[in-house]
Amino acid sequence: MACIRKKIKRLLRQLQFHAWKHTCFPKNFCTLFFAMPELPDITAYITALEARILGQKLERIHLGSVFLLRTVAPPLESAEGRTVTALKRIGKRIAIGLQNESGGNLWLVLHLMIAGRLHWKAPQSKLPGKAGLAAFDFPNGTLILTEAGSKRRASLHVFEGEAALEAINPGGIEVFSTDLEGFRTALTRENRTLKRALTDPRIVSGIGNAYSDEILHTAQLSPITQTHKLTPEQWQRLFTATRETLTEWINRFNAEAKKSFPEKVTAFRPEMAVHGKFNQPCPRCGNPVQRIQYADNETNYCPTCQTGGKLLADRGLSRLLGSDWPRTLDELEALKRK
Ligand SMILES: [Zn+2]
């Protein structure tokens, strides 16, 4: 059985590479296969990094791709020789705070986007060929950033001081530092579908395609309900479901990250209720999970639990969700509050 699973995994990996080369695959194939790390994944990376690099000196940085670095000043080399004093999540980004002996504060900010992943290797490890974007050498190990595929979406910014760092924050509310009223205010600033409101980085911080599907399933709300239509009882349900779903996954991933560095960051976890579970039975009611396809994305939901039995998979409804969406995930991620 384990052998068959290995074979299937290998085959899927091969398919991934072909998908980039040939257009006969659906254009959202890669987006669906990989997925952008969200709040629970980023939290797990930070937990694992805190145990390894906090208090350590960043000795050298090796860049594997010139496209990764998106700032020119301060220069990347100015981070070398500094000690890691803080790790922070900003939306779906990881910020590494570094100080020199005189107390000067520098931040390296990584956005993994869809196919970027972090790895912890032995000290002085080399950057892997094509996929290697950057290596950060510490005395106790090397942090390596890779990105699968040929699209260079992952990014690295260097900022000096806290104020400059804040400039990259898209401005979405933090679910764990707001109350129900703050949550409702943020989500109703514009009339959006719930799916869009939850995943817009200007509205809510750190949530993407996977956890929005899980949150809406827990809240038993339709992804296409518009935020201006929600009743007070539904707001309460959505707010509670958002916190509970994220807490459950953060706890699960943090427990894993305390044991070993998170090497298998994927949005498709067998324990998920609906995300990535098209046609599989809903864990609450047993009916098959459905999907709506739009832009380069899809959302999964259970009609029985979320939409009063109504199938949303017809063209008109896909269009409704599509019209509430930028053309690509990249565009959604690039949104910033003015
Ligand atoms: Zn169900």
pLDDT-based confidence at 28, cuts 50/70/90? very low
Chain-centre distance for alpha carbon 165: 19
Average pLDDT over residues 207-229: 96
> Which residues surround the ion ligand 1 when the cut-off is CB under 5 Å?
282, 284-285, 302, 304-305
Phi and psi, residue 196, nearest 5°:
-70, -45
CATH pick for 175-334 out of 3.20.20.100, 1.10.8.50, 2.60.40.2310, 3.40.50.2300: 1.10.8.50
Q: How far is the CA of 236 from the centre of ligand 1 (A)?
A: 20
pLDDT-based confidence at 296, cuts 50/70/90? confident
Burial per residue of 252-280, b for 16 or more beta-carbon CB atoms within 10 angstroms, e otherwise: ebbebbeeebbeebebeeeebbbbbbeee
Q: What is the pLDDT of residue 301?
A: 94
Query: What residue type is 295 in one-letter code?
Result: A
Q: How far is the CA of 23 from the centre of ligand 1 (A)?
A: 34
Q: Is the pLDDT of residue 182 over 80?
A: yes
pLDDT-based confidence at 318, cuts 50/70/90? low
Q: How far is the CA of 206 from the centre of ligand 1 (A)?
A: 26
Q: How far is the CA of 320 from the centre of ligand 1 (A)?
A: 23
DSSP H/E element including 206: none
Rounded Cα distance between 125 and 64, Å, is: 13
Q: Token pair of 74, please?
A: 């301060």
Q: How far is the CA of 116 from the centre of ligand 1 (A)?
A: 33
Homologous superfamily in CATH for domain 39-166: MutM-like, N-terminal (3.20.190.10)
pLDDT tens-digit map of 163-175: 999 999 999 999 9
pTM: 0.86
pLDDT tens-digit map of 242-276: 999 999 999 999 999 999 999 988 878 899 999 99
SS3 at position 21 = helix
Q: How far is the CA of 304 from the centre of ligand 1 (A)?
A: 5
Q: What is the pLDDT of residue 338?
A: 53
- Angle at 97 (CA atoms; ends 91, 101), nearest 5 degrees: 170
Rounded Cα distance between 283 and 280, Å, is: 9
Q: Is the pLDDT of residue 288 over 90?
A: yes
Q: How far is the CA of 289 from the centre of ligand 1 (A)?
A: 7
pLDDT-based confidence at 151, cuts 50/70/90? confident
- Angle at 249 (CA atoms; ends 326, 171), nearest 5 degrees: 40
102 — alpha (psi -120 to 50), left (phi > 0) or beta? alpha
3-state helix, strand, coil in the chain (%, to 5): 40, 20, 40
Q: Token pair of 161, please?
A: 């001081």
Domain ranges of the chain: 39-166, 175-334
Burial class of residue 109 in the structure, from the number of CB atoms within 10 Å of its CB (0-12 exposed, 13-18 middle, 19+ buried): buried
Least confident residue range of 23-32, 50-59, 243-252, 277-286: 23-32
Q: Is the pLDDT of residue 207 over 60?
A: yes
Q: Give the percent of the chain with pLDDT over 90.
A: 71
Within a 10 A sphere around the Cβ of 85, how many other Cβ atoms? 14
pLDDT tens-digit map of 188-198: 999 999 999 99
Query: What residue type is 216 in one-letter code?
Result: L
Q: Are domains 39-166 and 175-334 of this chain identical in fold?
A: no
